[in-house]
Amino acid sequence: MRYIKLSLYIMTFSLFLLTGALTLYYGKETFHFEPEESPEAEAATTEQKLHFVLIPEELDNDYWHLVEQGARDAAKFHNVYLEYLGPKQANNDEHLKTIDMVIAGLVDGVITQGVADPEFNTLITKAKEKLIPIVTIDTDAPESDRAAYVGTDNYYSGFLAGKALLNDTKGEQKVAIITGRHEAPHQKLRVQGFKDAVATEKRIEIVAVEESNITEIGAVEAAHQVLQQHPKLTAFYGTSALDGIGIAKVVKSQKAEDDLYIIGFDILPETLQYIEEGTIEATVVQFPYQMGYEAVEKLILLNKGEKLEPLQHTDTKVIHKDDLPISPAAMNGGMQP
Ligand code: BGC
C-alpha cells in the first residue's frame, strides 16, 4: 500500500514537472520575436562602417551585376556598407547626376565607370577636395583626379581581338565592328586596338563600325543592317558584353554560321553557349567580379591614406571553344565567389 502511494506521488510530481517544462517551451516559441532590423538600427550599425557607392554604366546589366557581386562580397568581408546606384539605362547625364548626389552625401568613397565628359572631371576634382577618394572601374578617366583605375587594359584587349581574328581566319576578310557606344572611351580603345592589330594586313578590311547602345536588341538591329549593306561580309567583332550575343542571334537566324566569323567580348553564359555550339568563334575575357572586389579593397586602402599605383589592370585574354568549360573560380579571376 505504501509503495502504491509512493509511486502515485512520484507519477503526479513527474507529470507536474513535465507540464511545467512544456508550458515554458511553447510559451517561449509563441511569444518570442526576433527583433526586427529597423532603418534606425541599420543606420546605427552602418554609422561606424565605411560607406562606398558603386556606379555602373547601367544598373540592370548582366556584366555589371558581376561587378556588383564582387564589390558586395568584398564589402561583406571587410564590413563596409556598399550601395549600387546609377542610370537604369546607359546615360551620361544620369551617371553624372548620381556622382554629384553621392559626393554631396559625403560618402567615404566612390567606384564609378569613367565617363568622357568635362563635367565628370569637374565632379571628380570636387570629390577630391572633399577628401572622397574615387576609383574608376571598367573604363578609366586618366585625365581626371581619380585615385586609381581597376579594370581591363581596354586598348590591349582590343589588340588581342584583332590578333585572334588574324590567327583564326585565312584570306580576305570584310569585317564589321559592333561597338557599345561610340562616345565611350573604353569602347573607342577596344576598336582602336583592334584596328591597329590588323592594320598591317592588307587582307583585312573594316567595312563598318556601328553602335548597339550596349543592348542586345541594339546589336541585333546593327548586325541586320550591316548584313544588308554588306552581303559579302565575312566577320563580326562585338566590343561589349551583349554585342556578340546579338550578332550571333542574327547570324543564326540567317543560317550563316559557317560563312561568318564572330569574335565577341566577355564570358556571359549565353556567349559561352554560342561558343560551345560554334556560332561564336572566340571572345575576349574580362574579370568583372574581380574588378568589383578589388575596387572596394583599393578604396579601403585609400581611406587609410595609402598611395596607390594609378593603373590596377585586371587580366584579359581571348578564349575559343577548346578552352571550355571554364571553372567558376577562373571566371572570377581566381577568386571564389
Ligand atoms: C563593358 C562594359 C559594358 C558592358 C555592356 C562590357 O564589355 O566592359 O563597360 O557596360 O560590356 O554590356
For residue 278, the CA-to-ligand 1 centroid distance in Å is 23
Q: How far apart are CA 135 and CA 54, in angstroms?
A: 9
Ligand 1 and 153: CB distance under 6 A? no
How many CA atoms are closer than 13 Å to the CA of 337, on its beta-carbon side? 19
| Residue of minimum CA distance from atom 2 in ligand 1 | 240
> What's the grid cell of residue 130?
572633399
Check pocket membership of 296 for ligand 1, CB cut-off 6 A: no
Nearest CA to ligand 1 atom 3: 240
| Dihedral angle sign, alpha carbons of residues 190, 195, 198, 203 | positive
Domain architecture of the chain: domains with CATH: 48-152+288-314 (3.40.50.2300), 154-286 (3.40.50.2300)
Q: Give the type of residue at 123.
A: L
Calculate how far, in angstroms, residue 214's C-alpha sits from the geometric centre of ligand 1. Answer: 7
Cell 569574335, residue located: 263
Q: What is the DSSP pairing of strand 282-285 with strand 317-320?
A: antiparallel
- What is the chain's pLDDT, residue by residue, as a tens digit (337 residues)? 455 454 545 454 454 444 444 444 444 444 443 444 444 445 545 557 999 999 999 999 999 999 999 999 999 999 999 999 999 999 999 999 999 999 999 999 999 999 999 999 999 999 999 999 999 999 999 999 999 999 999 999 999 999 999 999 999 999 999 999 999 999 999 999 999 999 999 999 999 999 999 999 999 999 999 999 999 999 999 999 999 999 999 999 999 999 999 999 999 999 999 999 999 999 999 999 999 999 999 999 999 999 999 999 999 999 999 999 999 888 888 776 6
Residue 51 buriedness (CB in 10 A; 0-12 / 13-18 / 19+): middle
In what side-by-side order are the strands of the sheet with 235-238? Answer: 204-211, 173-179, 235-238, 261-265, 282-285, 317-320
3-state secondary structure of 24: helix
Question: Which one of 54, 57, 181, 267 would you pick to mutate in the ligand 1 pocket, going by the greatest count of ligand atoms within 8 A of its CB?
Answer: 57
Of 58, 266, 285, best ligand 1 pocket probe by most atoms within 8 Å of the beta carbon? 266
Model-wide pTM > 0.75: yes
Q: Whose CA is nearest to atom 1 of ligand 1?
A: 240
Q: Which residues contact 110 (CB under 8 A, 6 or more apart)?
A: 52, 53, 55, 99, 102, 103, 127, 132, 133, 134, 135
